[in-house]
Structure 1
Amino acid sequence: MTEIALSRTQTIRKTVVETPHGVVAAQNSLAARAGARVLAAGGDAVDAAVATSFAIGVVEPWMSGPVAGGAMMLWRAEEGRAYALNHGMKSPAALNPADYPVTGKGRAGDLFPWDRVKDDRNVLGASAVAVPGTVDGLGQAHDRFGRMPWAELLAPAIALAGEGLLVDWYAALIIASSTRDLASDPDAAALFLEDGQWPTISGWTALAEKRLDQSRMADTLEQIARNGARELYSGDVGVAMVADLQEKGSVLTRDDLIAYRAQFQDPLSFGYRGGRIHAVPGLTAGPTLKATLEALDRQPFGGRPDQTTYLAYADALKAAYAQRFATMGDETESSEAPACTTHFSVVDRHGNMVAQTQTLLSIFGSRVVSPSTGLLMNNGLMWFDPVQGRPNSLGPSKRCLMNVCPVIGEGEGRHFAFGASGGRKIVSAVSQLTSFAIDFGMDLEQVFHQPRIDSSGGPAVIVDDTLPEDVFRALAARHQVRRARRTVFPYSFACPAGVMRRGDINSGCTEIMSPWGDAVSEADIQDR
Structure 2
Amino acid sequence: MATNTLHADIDNWTLATPAARSPNGVVASQHRLAAQAGAAQLDAGGNAIDAIVATAYALNAVEPWMSGLGGSGFMVIWLAREQRAVALDFQGTLAGDTRLEDYPVDPGLPATPMGFPGVVDNANIEGYRSITVPGAVAGLEHALRRFGTKPRAEVMAPAIALADRGLHVDWFTSLQIGVCARTLARDPISASIYLPGGHPATPESRLRIPQLAGALTEIAEAGAESFYRGALAERIVADLQAGGSRISREDLAAYEVFEYAAMAAEHRGYTLYTPGEASGGLRQREMLAHALDAMPAPPENPTPETWLVYAEALEACWKQHKIRNGVLSAADGENGACTSSMSSVDAEGNMVALTYTLLNRFGSGVTLPATGMLMNDSVSYFDPRPGYPTTMAGGKRINSSNMCPTVAVRDGEARFSVGASGGNLIMPAVTQVAALMMDFDMSLERAVHHPRLDASYRGSVRVDPRFSPETLARLGERFALEIAQQLVFPKLYACVSAVSRDPETGECIGINDPTQPIGGGAAPTPFRLGSLGSDAPAVRP
Could you tell me the TM-score, scaled by structure 2's length?
0.93
SS of the residue 2:82 aligns to? coil
The residue that corresponds to 1:442 in the other structure is 442
Q: Secondary structure at the match of 1:343?
A: strand
Q: In structure 2, how many angstroms separate the alpha carbons of the residues matched to 1:5 and 1:290?
A: 34
Alignment equivalent of 1:389, drawn from 381, 387, 390: 387
Q: Counterparts of 2:334 and 2:15 in 1: how far apart (Å)?
A: 24
Aligned residues: 518
Contact 2:463 2:484 in 1 (8 A): yes
When structure 1 is superposed on structure 2, of 11-20 and 497-506 the one drifting more is: 11-20
Output the CA distance in 2 between the equivalents of 1:137 and 1:245. Answer: 21
Asked if 1:318 corresponds to 2:322, the answer is no
Deviation of 1:107 (Å): 2.9
> How far 1:106 sits from its partner (Å)?
4.4
Alpha carbons 2:43, 2:526 under 8 Å: kept:
no
Contact 2:37 2:527 in 1 (8 A): no
1:187 aligned residue (186, 189, 192): 189
Q: Is the 8 A contact 1:421 1:495 kept in 2?
A: yes
Q: CA deviation at 1:5?
A: 5.6
- TM-score normalised per structure 1: 0.95
1:206-221 counterparts in 2 under 5 A? 210-221=205-216
Taking the aligned partners of 1:105 and 1:380, their CA distance within structure 2 comes to: 21
Q: In the alignment, what sits opposite 1:28?
A: 31
Deviation string 1:165-219 (CA, Å, 9 cap, x unpaired) is 00111101110111111111101101111122111221xxxxxxx1111241000
SS in 2 for 1:354: strand
Q: 2:497 maps to which residue?
A: 497
**CA displacement 1:48-98 (0-9 Å, x = unmatched):** 111101001221111012341000000011112111111111111110112
In structure 2, the CA distance between the partners of 1:419 and 1:4, relative to structure 1 (3 Å rule), is closer
**Kept in 2: contact 1:56–1:66 (CA 8 A):** no
Q: 1 CA distance for matches of 2:7 and 2:260?
A: 48
Question: 8 Å contact 2:19–2:520 — kept in the other structure?
Answer: no
Q: For the structure 1 residues 38 and 128, does the alpha-carbon distance in structure 2 shift closer, same or farther, using more than 3 Å as the test?
A: same
**Residue among 266, 269, 276 paired with 1:274:** 269
What residue number does 2:10 align with? 6
Q: Does structure 2 retain, via aligned residues, the 8 Å contact 1:158–1:222?
A: yes
> Partner residue of 2:239?
244
Q: SS where residue 271 of structure 1 aligns?
A: strand
Could you say which structure has the greater relative contact order, defined with CA pairs below 8 angstroms and 6 or more residues apart? 2
Aligned mate of 1:256, from 251, 259, 262 = 251
Counterpart CA distance in 2 for 1:395 and 1:88 is 15
Q: Does the CA contact (< 8 Å) of 1:499 and 1:508 recur in 2?
A: yes
* Structure 1 equivalent of residue 304 of structure 2: 307
Report which stretch shifted further, 413-422 or 173-182. 413-422
CA distance in 2, matches of 1:330, 1:410: 33
Shift of 1:113: 4.0
Q: CA deviation at 1:115?
A: 2.2
Deviation per CA, 1:6-48: give whole Å up to 9, x if none: 355x333222223211100000001000001111000111111
Match of 2:461 in 1: 461
Are residues 183 and 446 of structure 1, via their aligned partners in 2, closer, same or farther at CA, if it must alter by over 3 Å?
same
Separation of aligned partners in 2, 1:52 and 1:261: 22
- Structure 1 pair 313–4 and aligned structure 2 pair: CA distance change class (3 A): closer
Q: 1:301-380 to 2 correspondence within 5 Å?
A: 301-329=298-326, 332-335=330-333, 337-380=335-378
Instruction: Give the equivalent residue in structure 2 for 1:222.
Output: 217
* Residue identity matched to 1:6: I
Distance 1:156 1:18 in 2: 22
User: SS of the counterpart of 2:206?
Assistant: coil
Displacement of 1:112 in angstroms is 3.7
Are the counterparts in 2 of residues 40 and 525 from structure 1 also a CA contact under 8 Å? no
User: In the alignment, is the contact (CA less than 8 A) between 1:25 and 1:344 conserved in 2?
Assistant: yes
For 1:388 and 1:441, the matched residues in 2 are separated by 47
**Pairwise CA RMSD of aligned residues?**
1.7
Unaligned runs of 5+ in 1: 203-209
User: In structure 2, the residue corresponding to 1:376 is in which secondary structure?
Assistant: coil
Superposition deviation, residue 475 in structure 1: 1.1
The offset of 1:230, in angstroms, is: 2.2
Q: What secondary structure is seen at the aligned counterpart in 1 of 2:500?
A: strand
| Secondary structure at 1:390 match in 2 | coil
Distance in 2, matches of 1:100 and 1:275, equals 44
Distance (Å, rounded) in 2 between the aligned partners of 1:324 and 1:275: 24
Residue 229 of structure 2 is aligned to residue 234 of structure 1: yes
- Partner in structure 1 of residue 533 of structure 2: none
SS in 2 for 1:370: coil
Code of the residue aligned with 1:183 in structure 2: it is: A
Deviation at 1:330, TM superposition (A): 5.7
Tell me the distance in 2 between the aligned counterparts of 1:495 and 1:476.
Answer: 25
Q: AA paired with 1:273?
A: R
- Cα distance in structure 2, aligned partners of 1:276 and 1:387: 38
Aligned-residue offset at 1:337: 2.3
Instruction: State the 1:414 CA deviation.
Output: 5.8
1:386-414 CA distances to partner (integer Å, 9 max, x unpaired)? 11111211211111122110011123776
Deviations 1:99-139 (A, max 9, x none): 1111333434x424422211111111100000100110111
Q: How does 1:188-203 map to 2 (within 5 A)?
A: 188-202=190-204
The answer as to 2:404 corresponding to 1:405 is yes
Match of residue 116, structure 2, among 94, 100, 114? 114
Report the alpha carbon displacement of residue 520 of structure 1 after superposing the two structures with TM: 0.5
Alpha carbons 1:179, 1:196 under 8 Å: kept = no
Q: Do the aligned partners of residues 284 and 442 (structure 1) sit closer, same or farther apart at CA in structure 2, a change above 3 Å counting?
A: same
In structure 1, how many angstroms separate the alpha carbons of the residues matched to 2:247 and 2:527? 42
Deviation at 1:4, TM superposition (A): 6.1
Contact 2:6 2:482 in 1 (8 A): no
| Worse-superposed segment, 69-78 or 391-400 | 391-400
Report the 3-state secondary structure (helix = DSSP H, G, I; strand = E; otherwise coil) of the residue aligned with 1:375: coil
Distance 1:257 1:326, change over 3 A: same
Is contact 1:339-1:490 (8 Å) kept? no
Distance 1:313-1:17 versus aligned 2 partners, 3 A rule: same
Q: Which residue of 1 aligns with 2:48?
A: 45
Partner of 2:157: 155
Q: Where does residue 297 of structure 1 map in the other structure?
A: 292
Distance 1:15 1:4 in 2: 25
Q: Which residue identity does 1:499 align to in structure 2?
A: V
Q: SS in structure 2 opposite 1:74?
A: strand
Cα separation, partners in 2 of 1:3 and 1:242, compared to 1, 3 Å? closer
For residue 293 of structure 1, report the CA deviation from its aligned partner.
Answer: 0.9
- Code of the aligned partner of 2:220: A
Separation in structure 2 between the aligned mates of residue 334 and residue 374 of structure 1, nearest angstrom: 30
In the superposition, relative to structure 1, how do residues 441 and 92 fare at CA in structure 2: closer, same or farther (>3 Å)? same
